[in-house]
């Protein structure tokens, strides 16, 4: 239980501060982003980029970092990516809340 | 991402006629001056802003604070009622100048007399681009490919209007009567007007269709990003704080451009693969933009935008840097002494009919350096675009032309350079230019595709929808309401 709950914080320690900020935005937009309809728990580049004002090139670099850290998964190809939390990240966040 | 995350939230006062986070109400003279400018701005917006839109309700993002949680609040707004205001990133009391002759001194909270004229010129030139792009895009709403795209256009437009406010605030607050006169002139010049044009050439070009709009926001708004980023390093702290927040908004504009072109490419590649086509005429006959035409538009927009960086060798740029007025892109992250004295930088120029690199003093080559930073980022965007034909198994790749191609300013002006970087005779150039640059026919063809699509969830045939919904359902949100 403890290990599962600490999954997100442990993994976030392995990525840069901007990537951590981006992860926060993804978590928020996955539930509340303005694009509708979309699959539950899914965020799209359009809404993430509007929500955080991140530069597009930097966004893709950070996305890769979060993917490698096992925090998110990305389906569909550029420029139609759909970004979701990994099941492990989702469970950990649920436990933490 | 906004780098304001660590700084405490500074809420915007929306109870004022001019929303602001600069305590405008405590400076009555300034407040009155700006309140006098406000009706002129609204007149300008109604006269030259998005045509026939005053009754539309648009799902817009409005900033309610400049921190990263507060700047993106969504809701329906009639555009003339958009709360244009003055938003500066909060002041960092300990901020020091970190480049040039004044390095390590306290950042300036007022304009030093010796830099007054140069700073005013920088602010006016930047400010002039903001209304110009709104004017250039005035008629695009009549041919929007979808409600989603229409809303994005309007979001870009209102934010360019807000960026004008940002520059006008600086002019009024710090430049006295001269500044007020400059602020008025910003509303008087008109994009493309023969008698009173906008200051920079690229902002007098027409944006007559949506492909031009997407390319403009990808290429030309990105020049804006690099200029703003260089100004965000400025020793003049109010300018640095203003431009930092503008950069946050600018990032979305570039996404609109990049994703707009990507979706155009996607649609073309889908059609080419489905129908096994490669001949541009056959591709066009399917109602999509052939890749060769797209390449010609890329050549045009890239080359015109490069001119905005000015001459490669510039004593003005050197003076701005040593004076601390304008830094390099990402100045704080560069590991040198931030003075550039004695350093050199490779700048291409023509010698004996060939393009060669010459090592110029780094200080005078700052425009070339900023342009090279820009080109690197543009190339990364093209690499992303090129994933699309690659995914469809198509061999075509979009390429950036040589920096000397089709230039009107700098060391390549007056020369004839092919996209591959060959120096040509004028005759050679004129014979081949139609292959490299969009022709009247290309514009006519692209314009012919631009029918208006305003049914929720529907998209014009030449562009792919922005993202897949559940089970590939279209996006049906009412981004714009026609009441």
Whether residue B468 has pLDDT greater than 60:
no
Average the pLDDT over B462-474 and give the result.
62
Residues B12, B21 contacting (CB under 8 angstroms):
yes
pLDDT of residue B445: 98
The distance from CA A48 to its chain's CA centroid, rounded to whole angstroms, is: 9
Quick one: pLDDT band at residue B10, thresholds 50, 70, 90? Answer: low
Q: Which chain B positions have a beta carbon within 8 Å of A80's beta carbon?
A: 266, 464, 466-468
| Whether residue A79 has a cis bond before it, omega within 30° of 0 | yes
Whether residue A78 has pLDDT greater than 90:
no
Concatenate the DSSP letters of all residues of B228-278 into one string. HHHHTT-SBHHHHHHHHHHHHHHHHHHHHHHHHHHHHHHHHHHHHHHTT--
- pLDDT 10s digits, B288-325: 999 999 999 999 999 999 999 999 999 999 999 999 99
The closest of B379, B61, B421, B369 to B229, measured between CA atoms, is B369
Whether residue B90 has pLDDT greater than 90:
no
pLDDT of residue B73: 76
| Interchain pair B470, A39: CB under 8 A | yes
Whether residue B6 has pLDDT greater than 50:
no
The residue of chain B with its CA nearest to that of A33 is B74
Residue B452 to residue B449: CA distance in whole angstroms: 9
Q: How many CB pairs under 8 A join A and B?
A: 97
- pLDDT 10s digits, B346-357: 999 999 999 999
Q: Is B470 on the interface with A (CB under 8 A)?
A: yes
**Architecture of domain B24-482 in CATH?**
Orthogonal Bundle (1.10)
Number of Cβ within 10 Å of residue B128's Cβ equals 21
pLDDT of residue B12: 66
Tokens at B179, concatenated = 């500044």
**Tally of domains within chain A:** 1
Q: Percentage of residues in chain B with pLDDT exceeding 90?
A: 82
Whether residue B176 has pLDDT greater than 50:
yes
Whether residue B9 has pLDDT greater than 50:
no
Tokens at B319, concatenated = 């003076």
Q: Min CA distance, B151 vs chain A (Å)?
A: 12
Whether residue B2 has pLDDT greater than 80:
no
The residue of chain B with its CA nearest to that of A22 is B1
Number of Cβ within 10 Å of residue B86's Cβ equals 24
Residue B413 to residue B409: CA distance in whole angstroms: 5
The residue of chain B with its CA nearest to that of A19 is B1
Q: Is B74 on the interface with A (CB under 8 A)?
A: yes
Interface test with A, best of B63, B70, B467 (most A CBs within 10 A): B467
Whether residue B407 has pLDDT greater than 50:
yes
For the entire predicted model, the pTM comes to 0.91
Tokens at B47, concatenated = 């006269």
Q: Is B224 on the interface with A (CB under 8 A)?
A: no
Tokens at B375, concatenated = 């080109």
The closest of B161, B157, B155, B2 to B66, measured between CA atoms, is B2
- pLDDT 10s digits, B410-456: 999 999 999 999 999 999 999 999 999 999 999 999 999 999 999 98
| Eight-state DSSP code of residue B209 | S
Q: Which chain A positions have a beta carbon within 8 Å of B252's beta carbon?
A: 49-50, 53
Whether residue B5 has pLDDT greater than 60:
no
- pLDDT 10s digits, B247-270: 988 888 999 999 999 999 999 999
| Eight-state DSSP code of residue B73 | E
For chain B, the structural domain boundaries read 24-482
| Secondary structure of residue B77 in the 3-state scheme | strand
- pLDDT 10s digits, B24-78: 989 999 999 999 999 999 999 999 999 999 999 999 988 766 665 566 678 899 9
* Phi, psi (deg, nearest 5) at residue A80: -110, 30
When the pLDDT of each residue in chain B is averaged and rounded to a whole number, the result is 92
Quick one: pLDDT band at residue B3, thresholds 50, 70, 90? Answer: very low
The 3-class SS string of B348-380 reads: EEEECCEEEEEEEECCCCHHHHHHHHHHHHHHH
Q: Min CA distance, A89 vs chain B (Å)?
A: 22
Domain that holds residue A92: 2-96
Whether residue A80 has pLDDT greater than 90:
no
């Amino acid at each position: 239980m403890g290990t599962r709950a600490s999954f997100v914080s442990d993994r976030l320690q392995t990525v840069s501060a901007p990537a951590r900020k981006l992860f926060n935005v993804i978590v928020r937009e996955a539930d509340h982003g303005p694009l509708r309809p979309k699959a539950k728990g899914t965020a799209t580049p359009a809404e993430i980029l509007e929500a955080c004002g991140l530069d597009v090139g930097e966004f893709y670099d950070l996305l890769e970092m979060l993917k490698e850290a096992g925090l998110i998964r990305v389906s569909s190809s550029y420029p139609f990516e759909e970004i979701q939390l990994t099941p492990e990240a989702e469970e950990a966040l649920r436990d933490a809340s | 991402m906004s780098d304001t995350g660590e700084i405490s939230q500074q809420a915007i006062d929306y109870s004022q006629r001019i929303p602001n986070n600069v305590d405008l109400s405590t400076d009555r003279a300034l407040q009155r001056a700006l309140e006098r400018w406000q009706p002129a701005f609204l007149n300008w917006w109604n006269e030259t802003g998005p045509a026939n839109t005053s009754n539309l309700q648009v799902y817009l993002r409005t900033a309610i604070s400049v921190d990263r949680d507060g700047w993106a609040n969504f809701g329906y707004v009639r555009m003339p009622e958009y709360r244009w205001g003055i938003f500066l990133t909060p002041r960092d009391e300990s901020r020091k100048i970190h480049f040039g002759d004044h390095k390590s001194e306290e950042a300036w909270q007022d304009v030093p007399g010796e830099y007054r004229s140069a700073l005013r010129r920088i602010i006016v030139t930047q400010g002039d681009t903001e209304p110009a792009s709104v004017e250039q895009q005035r008629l695009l709403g009549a041919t929007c490919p979808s409600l989603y795209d229409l809303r994005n256009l309007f979001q870009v437009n209102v934010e360019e209007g807000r960026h004008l406010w940002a520059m006008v605030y600086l002019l009024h607050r710090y430049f006295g009567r001269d500044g007020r006169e400059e602020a008025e002139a910003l509303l008087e010049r008109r994009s493309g007007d023969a008698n009173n044009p906008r200051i920079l050439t690229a902002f007098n070009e027409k944006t007559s269709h949506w492909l031009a709009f997407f390319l403009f926001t990808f290429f030309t708004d990105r020049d804006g990003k690099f200029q703003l980023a260089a100004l965000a390093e400025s020793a003049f702290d109010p300018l640095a704080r203003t431009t930092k927040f503008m950069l946050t908004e600018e990032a979305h504009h570039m996404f609109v451009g990049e994703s707009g072109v990507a979706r155009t490419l996607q649609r073309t590649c889908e059609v080419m693969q489905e129908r096994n086509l490669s001949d541009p005429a056959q591709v066009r006959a399917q109602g999509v933009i052939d890749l060769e035409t797209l390449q010609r538009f890329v050549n045009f927009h890239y080359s015109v935008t490069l001119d905005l960086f000015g001459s490669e060798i510039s004593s003005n740029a050197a003076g701005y840097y040593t004076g601390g007025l304008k830094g390099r892109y990402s100045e704080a992250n560069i590991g040198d002494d931030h003075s550039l004295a004695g350093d050199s930088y490779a700048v291409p120029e023509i010698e004996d009919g060939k393009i060669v690199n010459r090592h110029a003093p780094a200080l005078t080559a700052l425009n070339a350096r900023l342009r090279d930073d820009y080109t690197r980022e543009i190339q990364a965007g093209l690499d992303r675009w090129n994933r699309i034909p690659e995914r469809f198994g198509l061999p075509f790749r979009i390429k950036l032309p040589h920096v000397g191609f089709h230039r009107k300013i700098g060391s390549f002006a007056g020369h004839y350079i092919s996209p591959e970087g060959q120096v040509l005779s004028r005759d050679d150039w004129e014979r081949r230019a139609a292959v490299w640059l969009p022709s009247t026919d290309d514009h006519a063809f692209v314009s012919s595709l631009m029918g208006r699509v305003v049914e929720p969830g529907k998209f014009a045939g030449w562009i792919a929808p922005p993202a897949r919904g559940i089970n590939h359902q279209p996006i049906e949100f009412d981004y714009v309401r026609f009441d």
